[in-house]
Structure 1
Amino acid sequence: MGMLRVMSRRGDDRITWDAQKVETHDPEAMAAIHEAERIFMDERKKGATAFKVEPGKTVERIDKFDRTAEQIVLVPRVVGG
């Protein structure tokens, strides 16, 4: 399973997809991955930073959506005032 987590004031919103079903072009899995990609691009345009998180590995900053990632975390731009 893959997961996109978008941090916000409310906590985090999550979109999940089954990577194996994406490979077989399952309609539900494809819709979920397309939604995750759309959200990723929208949040990056707003200045969010994206990180790929995988167990046993160092967290990696990414600039492009990775549909093979186990978990992607989007952190919105912090605005001071």
Structure 2
Amino acid sequence: MGMLRVMSRRGDDRITWDSQGIETNELDAVAAVREAERIFNDERKKGATAFRVEAGKTVGRIDTFDRTAEQIVLVPRVVGG
């Protein structure tokens, strides 16, 4: 199971997809991963930073969507003032 988490003032919004369902071209899984990738790209264009998070591994920054990731966390650009 993959998950995209988008941080916001409300906490975080989550989109999940079934990694095995993608391999077998299940319609719901394919639609979910496409939506997650669309959101990822939109947020990156706005300046968000993305991190790949996996249990037992060091968190790493990523620049492109990775449908094989356990979890991707998007942190919006922080604006000071």
How far apart, CA to CA, are the structure 1 residues paired with 2:18 and 2:30?
9
The TM-score, its normalising length taken from structure 2, stands at 0.99
Equivalent residue number for residue 52 of structure 1: 52
Q: What is the root-mean-square deviation in Å for CA atoms of aligned residues?
A: 0.3
Report SS of the residue matched to 1:36.
helix
Equivalent residue number for residue 23 of structure 1: 23
* Displacement after TM superposition at 1:26 (Å): 0.3
Runs of 4+ aligned residues of structure 1 deviating over 6 Å after TM superposition are: none
Equivalent pairs counted in the alignment come to 81
Equivalent residue number for residue 6 of structure 2: 6
1:33 matched to 2:33: yes
Report SS of the residue matched to 2:58.
coil
Report SS of the residue matched to 1:12.
strand
Equivalent residue number for residue 65 of structure 1: 65
Q: Deviations over 1:3-44 (max 9, x none)?
A: 000000000000000000000010000000000000000000
The TM-score, its normalising length taken from structure 1, stands at 0.99
Report SS of the residue matched to 1:74.
strand
Q: For structure 2, which runs of at least 5 residues remain unmatched after alignment?
A: none
Q: For structure 1, which runs of at least 5 residues remain unmatched after alignment?
A: none
Percent of aligned pairs with the same amino acid: 81
